Structure 1
């Protein structure tokens, strides 16, 4: 199928274009065309005056809506998660499993492996743990926290071949041989749930770790005499860091300061989860996030579009940059920015259409357009800093 998406403002990831159409052929973006050069005899889809941006890329979420896939993986839960993410503009995602029993991890790997050939936008699996610091485990059950040994890491890589894409672990618990094995497998190593010193963090970022997981949360803080892992993230010139912008995981001012220091190396994750009542993780909602039985913060209730809205409304970032933080920058973390995260020729036709209040109104996944009802959640029209709202 070939069609033109017309009548919309286009946030390409590099520029903001008006009076341009997006030409989609099959699953691919073929061109961005000025309206004055619109080809004849090509079907048109009216964008209804909305904004269009690259579909979002969420590399860390456990659930959302009716799905708690990361806590109780199943085919049904994965399908529910796919529907939920697509409804709110996320076209590509890494379902995430926190520290759990090996049987649960194996089941999650098997479910994702089975779904990969038939579920567009499913990028693999992100494991958060079990190789984390006992001092920074948060809600991760202590009984499942492990020290990585070579045979076990090799076995995990064998079980996860073709599925395991990203691994959050504490760099201070990982030996050089195990780290080299993970690097050779092409796994994205992200420092998190870590009590690493500044020196340990800088060493990790110089030796294979390319990211840090949910900046500030469950990691050694920046202080005057001990810069910690947060300080290492700030000081390293290349490492990227995810952040949860819900106003609870960290203050909006901390997001603003971090963006000033990190720029395009700071990217959004939803860290979204769902309520559960059985198993090692029992979460209940509290103030648009989730906590465990003791009240410990366990995850967010965010969608990436809500995180974008918070970046604009509360952090004060330009809309175009906030959109990149949810699309282009996480695609770069996974090395997929040559086909995801931009509206450009040759990129996959994954798009998010949204209104002036930043409500998702439609998504395009691999060229297939799906309209959604307007969000029932009331929002206030935005005054977008640093944007030309022609």
Structure 2
């Protein structure tokens, strides 16, 4: 692969902007940032492809830790590496270059199948960065769109299988950089602190969610190693002034990260603004889409566990509901839309909104090879216009153009 110099856009490195700077990449990796003025008079190797982006923003590719489907398919349709690639391809036009296909509560056989194929999907390097199991260890009282009859406590065999899967995914790495992970969403009621500790020490990222637990129960699991909460506010015990519950624990514990669905339907923007101001510690809130199969598909309905999920237009973006017309069933959100929502409705600066889709989820997932633009990191990139609509993306240096008015080779 030839060396590429990308310049002409504002460069966001995952933390801050660099004005009038460029990015030098080769063989799928970032060589270095070319700071403003430092490229004058330099002679690049004769095979260097110089690409003038002529405006916009060049940033790390977006990372989505919770994606149920996309491109017309759901992971629950029948987990396979090819199906995971279809989901990743469905989200790539919206700036996502790394995602965790997410399995909603299903049978033991389907869950085992998803775990079996995850490592191969990560190794193929087509935008899949691991696996997220959202169930079956959830609380029936906070089932959301999941099937309560399939929910159950964590058993010893489950822990063994999760650790084995995390280890297998974790072998897909180069040098000391971590490039894949396993996330499991588990209700506090369905797992003991000792079990949390065993999973965390075995390399599994534990996220508490779909839980009706108390503040004290949540803090015990966080102290034992649970790293985050799944879609903060949704399907969990709410904050009260005498019973802070799971929401309060997530905001109060300094080490805990939290995904948020910023679509205007799952959480009122005022609640998200309060949560963003309240979150303390090293842990941060970050964007997830919780997207279903309709993203990137052009369809309006799909089937989930034999139930019809329909898209209803309105608001900032459409919402997805069960046949009762009320119960939310994932989202129709893409990551670029979440960023725009954050700036428009959550008082976020462009920098913070971009961090919540890049360096923050990378830190939560411990994916040390991406999420920032720095030497030796992956050349996973997104090129945005000034309104944060996607023009092009790169995965490991391989570009794909999504702007019909832009025809230069990437």
> What is the TM-score when the length of structure 1 is the normalising length?
0.91
Match of 2:239 in 1: 222
User: CA–CA distance in 1 between the matches of 2:369 and 2:352?
Assistant: 19
Q: Return the match for 1:49 from 55, 60, 63.
A: 55
What residue in structure 2 maps to residue 363 of structure 1?
A: 393
1:114 matched to 2:120? The reply is yes
Distance 1:364 1:159, change over 3 A: closer
Give CA deviations for 1:328-373 in whole Å, capped at 9, x if unaligned: 000001112x321111122111111011221100001101111113
Note closer, same or farther for the CA distance 1:206–1:75 as it changes in structure 2 (3 Å cut): closer
**1: CA distance, partners of 2:194 / 2:91:** 37
Checking the alignment, whether the CA contact within 8 Å between 2:85 and 2:127 is kept in structure 1 is: no
Cα displacement (A) at 1:177: 4.1
Q: CA deviation at 1:50?
A: 1.9
| Corresponding residue SS for 1:346 | coil
Q: Which residue pairs with 1:334 in the alignment?
A: 365
Which stretch shows the higher mean deviation, 302-311 or 101-110?
Answer: 101-110
Cα distance in 2, alignment partners of residues 298 and 311 from structure 1: 21
Give the Cα–Cα distance (whole angstroms) in 1 for the partners of residues 264 and 119 of structure 2. 35
- 1:119-138 aligned at under 5 Å gives the runs 119-138=125-144
Count of residue correspondences: 374
Contact 1:360 1:374 in 2 (8 A): no
Aligned to 1:63: 69
2:403 aligned residue: 373
Match of 1:384 in 2: none
1:303 maps to which of 312, 315, 334: 334
Q: Which runs of 5+ in 1 are unaligned?
A: 376-390
Q: 1:374 to 1:238 in 2, by over 3 A?
A: farther
2:89 equivalent to 1:83: yes
Cα deviation 1:198-218 (Å, max 9, x = unaligned): 110111111111100100000
Given the superposition, is the C-alpha separation of residues 292 and 46 from structure 1 closer, same or farther in structure 2, using an over 3 Å criterion?
same
Secondary structure (helix, strand or coil) at the match of 1:276 reads: strand
Please name the residue that 2:381 is paired with: 351
1:15 — aligned with what? Answer: 16
**Deviation readout 1:173-222 (Å, 9 max, x if unpaired):** 21244323312321000010001101101111111111001000000000
Counterpart residue number, 2:344: 313
The residue number in structure 1 matching 2:172 is: none
CA contact (8 A) 1:328 1:342 kept: yes
Given the alignment of the two structures, is residue 270 of structure 1 paired with residue 289 of structure 2, yes or no?
Answer: yes
Native 8 Å contact 1:71 1:98 kept in 2: no
CA change 1:152–1:34 in 2 (3 A) is closer
CA contact (8 A) 1:308 1:322 kept: yes
**Alpha-carbon shift at residue 72 of structure 1 (Å):** 3.9
Deviations 1:10-54 (A, max 9, x none): 111222111111111111111111353223233201213121111
Q: TM-score, normalising length from structure 2?
A: 0.86
In structure 2, the CA distance between the partners of 1:312 and 1:257, relative to structure 1 (3 Å rule), is: same
Q: Is the Cα–Cα contact under 8 Å of residues 4 and 21 in structure 1 kept in the other structure? A: yes
Q: Residues 106 and 159 of structure 1 are in contact (CA less than 8 Å); yes or no, is this contact kept in structure 2? A: no
Give the 3-state SS of the residue equivalent to 1:218 in structure 2: coil
Helix, strand or coil for the counterpart of 1:57? strand
State whether residues 76 and 110 of structure 2, in contact with CA within 8 Å, keep that contact through their aligned partners in structure 1.
no
Judge which range, 91-100 or 142-151, deviates more. Answer: 142-151
Shift of 1:307: 0.3
Are residue 279 (structure 1) and residue 301 (structure 2) matched?
Answer: no
Residue 145 (structure 1) shift = 0.3
What is residue 237 of structure 1 aligned with on the other side?
254
What does residue 201 of structure 2 align with? 184
Tell me if 1:98 matches 2:104: yes
- Mapped partners of 1:71, 1:229: distance in 2: 31
Flag structure 2 segments of 5+ consecutive residues without an equivalent: 170-180, 294-300, 406-410
* Shift of residue 120, structure 1, vs aligned partner: 3.5
- Does the aligned pair in 1 maintain the 2:71–2:89 contact within 8 Å? no
1:70/1:95 contact within 8 Å kept: no
Is 1:62–1:71's contact at 8 Å kept on the other side of the alignment? no
Tell me, in whole angstroms, the C-alpha distance in 1 between the residues paired with 2:62 and 2:207: 20
